[in-house]
Amino acid sequence: MKNQDFINKLRNSGLRPTKQRIKICEALFNTEKTFHFTVNDLAKMMQKNFNEKISLATVYNTLHAFKKKGYVKEISLGNDKSYFDTNISSHHHFFDTKTNELIDIDSSKVELKNIPNPPKGKSIKDIDIVINVENDSQ
Amino acid sequence: MKNQDFINKLRNSGLRPTKQRIKICEALFNTEKTFHFTVNDLAKMMQKNFNEKISLATVYNTLHAFKKKGYVKEISLGNDKSYFDTNISSHHHFFDTKTNELIDIDSSKVELKNIPNPPKGKSIKDIDIVINVENDSQ
DNA sequence: AATTTACTTTATAATTAGTCTAAAGTAGAA
DNA sequence: TTCTACTTTAGACTAATTATAAAGTAAATT
């Protein structure tokens, strides 16, 4: 993907293509595989791999904007910090509660048997399944 | 349940029955229905309904101790604060992302079709299913 | 092209959940 | 009763995140 593609992508969804947003797009979407990261991970990555010092507040802003536009997903864990995922397809996660490692579960590998009716007046937005794992104590 | 029962319960699981712990037991387990709460909720509740000013640190300590003993469950949400649940049976939750309201799902109402094998060397501790809901926009 | 406007970024301050600490208190054993 | 280990406490501290207000910039307007 070229820069111009990211510029179009941003513009098409109503986000101004600023230098920072384009760079973050590169970092997130010019990759072979999807990946998980925290806000801090991304801020550091921008500095190290992209020589781009972006204010933390901007990284938060951008990620929340990208999340709203569906470019990334936020992952719900019982953790103090929040994780983002560039894999936006419907899928769930293993979470290693000791190492804080997140691992994708292929969506075909897990499915709900019967989805209960939501409380009256409410409708389902999405479903998060987290399978907490731990290293076998040998 | 009488105070003495809580004292026994605590002692049996190796926790000293201190005044604070007994009071918290009363607040959590002398209820008709199970319920969800945050650490802050509980601290305020102790003060208001039980006239018992308990240091926040103690509330944290106590809840973590109770969690380790299986008296309460901690619920993983994509939220910044953590929720506890006096319903310790295996069950999952609706979560209203707008109001932060948590609603139990009867465990019989939802089930995984096939649980994927955990990554090599790891084993499953538990599974959290959160169904995010929102009020219908009418 | 210059001007204007609204949206963005930035550094920093503020907020918030949660943990740590060290001193004072207390349950239970001796 | 005394001692010891476990608890509680207030308050300092940490880390994640949000708010703020000024400076910068994209894009619309002239």
Q: Residue B39 has what pLDDT? A: 96
Predicted pLDDT at A137:
74
pLDDT exceeds 90 at position B77: no
Does one domain contain both B20 and B70?
yes
Q: Answer yes or no: do A105 and A63 share one domain.
A: no
Q: Are residues A68 and A100 in the same domain?
A: no
pLDDT single digits (tens) A60-118: 999 999 999 999 999 878 777 889 999 999 899 998 887 888 899 987 888 888 889 99
Does the residue A106 lie in any domain?
Answer: yes
Of all residues in chain A, the percent with pLDDT exceeding 90 is: 68
Residue B129 at interface with chain A, using a CB cutoff of 8 Å: yes
Whether residue B8 is found in the same domain as residue B71: yes
- Residue-level pLDDT at B34: 96
How many C-beta atoms lie closer than 10 Å to residue A101's C-beta?
A: 14
pLDDT given for residue B30 in this prediction: 95
Are A75 and B74 in contact (CB < 8 Å)? no
Asked whether residue A138 carries a pLDDT value surpassing 70, the answer given is no
The total of structural domains in chain B comes to 2
pLDDT over 70 percentage in chain B: 99
Check if residue A16 sits with its Cβ under 7 angstroms from strand C. Answer: yes
A20-47: average pLDDT: 96
Give φ, ψ of A56 to 5 degrees. Answer: -55, -45
B118 touches chain A (CB under 8 A): yes
Sign of CA dihedral B3, B5, B10, B12: positive
* pLDDT at residue A120 tops 70: yes
Q: Using CB atoms, which residue from A109, A121, A134 is nearest to B125? A: A134
Provide the residue range defining the domain that includes A34. Answer: 3-75
Question: Do B9 and B68 have their domain in common?
Answer: yes
Do A17 and A59 fall into the same domain?
yes
Same-domain check for residues A69 and A9: yes
Lowest mean pLDDT among A26-30, A130-134, B68-72: A130-134
Average pLDDT, chain A: 91
The reported pLDDT for the residue numbered B98 is 80
Q: Do B65 and B127 belong to one domain? A: no
DSSP-assigned beta bridge partners for residue A129: B129
In a domain, A81, yes or no: no
What pLDDT does residue B138 have?
Answer: 58
The partner residue sitting opposite B82, judged by closest CB among A78, A125, A129, is A78
The string of pLDDT tens digits covering residues B16-73 is 999 999 999 999 999 999 999 999 999 999 999 999 999 999 999 999 999 999 999 9
Are residues A101 and A68 located together in one domain of the fold? no
The answer to whether the beta carbon of residue A61 comes closer than 7 angstroms to any atom of strand C is yes
Q: How far is CA B20 from CA A20, B17, B46, B82, in A?
A: 51, 8, 9, 21
Residue B83 lies in a domain: no
Residues B97 and B71 in one domain: no
Instruction: Write out chain A residues lying below 8 Å of B98, CB-based.
Output: none
Indicate whether A9 and A63 sit together in one domain.
yes
Residue to substitute from A74, A98, A105, A132, interface B, most B β-carbons within 10 A: A132
Residues 70-99 of B with CB under 7 A from strand D: 80
B103 & B64 share domain: no
Burial of A136 (0-12, 13-18, 19+ CB in 10 A): exposed
Residue B82 falls within a domain, yes or no? no
